[in-house]
Each structure stands twice: as structure tokens, then as C-alpha cells.
Chain A
Amino acid sequence: DGGITQSPKYLFRKEGQNVTLSCEQNLNHDAMYWYRQDPGQGLRLIYYSQIVNDFQKGDIAEGYSVSREKKESFPLTVTSAQKNPTAFYLCASSILAGEETQYFGPGTRLLVL
């Protein structure tokens, strides 16, 4: 079955630590996205990538970094510069960027110890 997987389901971060969230898709989609979801704020775009080896900042990129070395993979690193990382993180992909339907992974909940 094709789809998007995210791991881990829950992630705990200690003070000053960088953590990496995994996102893999086998849908052969060109575009991939990372969103942050906080209660009452909907989804906010962190980074997006329209093609391999290329990515752009979204609305709230500070304190986050990404890479897109393979079409299937778009990992997100939450750095120690992100002072309020506790949130639900969603990865998505689409055939092309923009008007195409986005397909979402099950999410990773990041908590700070």
C-alpha cells in the first residue's frame, strides 16, 4: 500500500538537544511539506520541498532545518534554537505543489522533558 509514514509517534526532547523527525513516502510525489499543529491555531507551514535537493522556508522556519536528498524522504530537525517545540508535527506530500491534494502522515507528537 502506498502512503506516508512518520516516526516516531512520540518523541521527547531534552533541553539543548536537537531531534530529528522522520517522514517517508512511497507515493512517488515530488512535493513534500512539514506542518506544525498547535491547539486552536490550525496548521502552520514550516518547510516545503518541490523537488529533490531543493526546499524553501515556510511561515515558521526559525529553529527548524530539513533536507531532501531522496525523493521519498524529507526529515525535519528541531534544533535547540526552537524554544517552544512542543507540538504535533505533520508531514504531507502531493504530486505537485500548490493545487494538488496533500496526503498526510499520522504525525509525530514532540514533547519537552
Chain B
Amino acid sequence: AQSVTQLGSHVSVSEGALVLLRCNYSSSVPPYLFWYVQYPNQGLQLLLKYTSAATLVKGINGFEAEFKKSETSFHLTKPSAHMSDAAEYFCAVSERGGYQKVTFGTGTKLQVIP
């Protein structure tokens, strides 16, 4: 069975500092991996998706994530935080082959301090 663990329910960074949000996954087959962002009282929006084309995936708003099979990780990074990055971020995993549901992590709330 697939699962995803997000380390840290709350992360605070200063404006301009590096953003690092951690995600580890468990999957019995090569996975698809996703990062979504949610602003308060809104739905989720896709930031980026890993589908095996490249291990370093670039997304919207300057975010990127690297798929590391040996570490079963898919951490989300951004070199310089902006106030508008304050939101909740969800990592998600889906297994390949036929229909497989998407399993979401519990989320990490990012606070950006001016």
C-alpha cells in the first residue's frame, strides 16, 4: 500500500530564505508524486508532478522537487521565500498501473516571516 509522510506540520522561514518542505513516500511500484498548494479556504492547486521523465522537477512559482529513489523522498524547495508563498502544501503519491487512488499527506503549513 502506498503512503506519504510529510515531516513538520508547520515550517517558518524568513522572507528571502530557502524553503525546504520534506516528503517521504512508500510505494510497492514506481510512483507518481505530486506537490499541491492550498491557500486559506480554497481548493488545491498543482505545483509540480513527477512522472519519471526527470528526477528534478520544476514547477510553478519558482518551486522544484527532486525525486530520490534511494531515499524514497520528494522534497519541495524554493531558493528564496516570498510572502505570497505562505500557504499549506500537500505531498501526494499514486502508484502506476491501472487506476490507483492518490494518497495525500497531512500537509505542511508554511509561514513566511517578513
B interface residues with partner A (beta carbon < 8 Å): 9, 32, 34, 36, 41-46, 49, 51, 90, 94, 96, 98-102, 104-107
Question: Which residue of A40, A50, A88, A90 is within 8 Å of B9 (Cβ)?
Answer: A40
23 residue pairs A–B, Cβ–Cβ below 8 Å: A4-B43, A40-B107, A42-B104, A42-B106, A43-B104, A45-B101, A48-B101, A50-B99, A58-B101, A97-B99, A97-B101, A98-B96, A98-B101, A98-B102, A99-B32, A99-B100, A101-B34, A102-B102, A103-B46, A104-B43, A106-B43, A107-B42, A109-B41
User: Using a Cβ cutoff of 8 Å, how many contacts connect chains A and B?
Assistant: 59
A interface residues with partner B (beta carbon < 8 Å): 4, 6, 35, 40-43, 45, 48, 50, 58, 88, 90, 92, 97-99, 101-107, 109
The 7 closest A-B pairs by CB, nearest first: A104-B43, A42-B106, A99-B32, A43-B104, A97-B99, A104-B44, A42-B104
Complex-state Cα separation, A6 to B44, whole angstroms:
13
Say yes or no: B43 contacts A105, CB within 8 Å: yes
Give the interface centre of A40, A102, A103 by most chain B CB atoms within 10 Å.
A102
Question: Which residue of A88, A92, A98 is within 8 Å of B94 (Cβ)?
Answer: A98
Once A90-B43, A107-B41, A109-B41 are accepted as A-B contacts, the answer to whether A101 and B106 lie under 8 Å apart by CB is no
Give the nearest-CB partner of A104 in chain B. Answer: B43
Complex-state Cα separation, A99 to B104, whole angstroms:
13
Complex-state Cα separation, A69 to B49, whole angstroms:
31
Once A40-B106, A42-B90 are accepted as A-B contacts, the answer to whether A107 and B43 lie under 8 Å apart by CB is yes
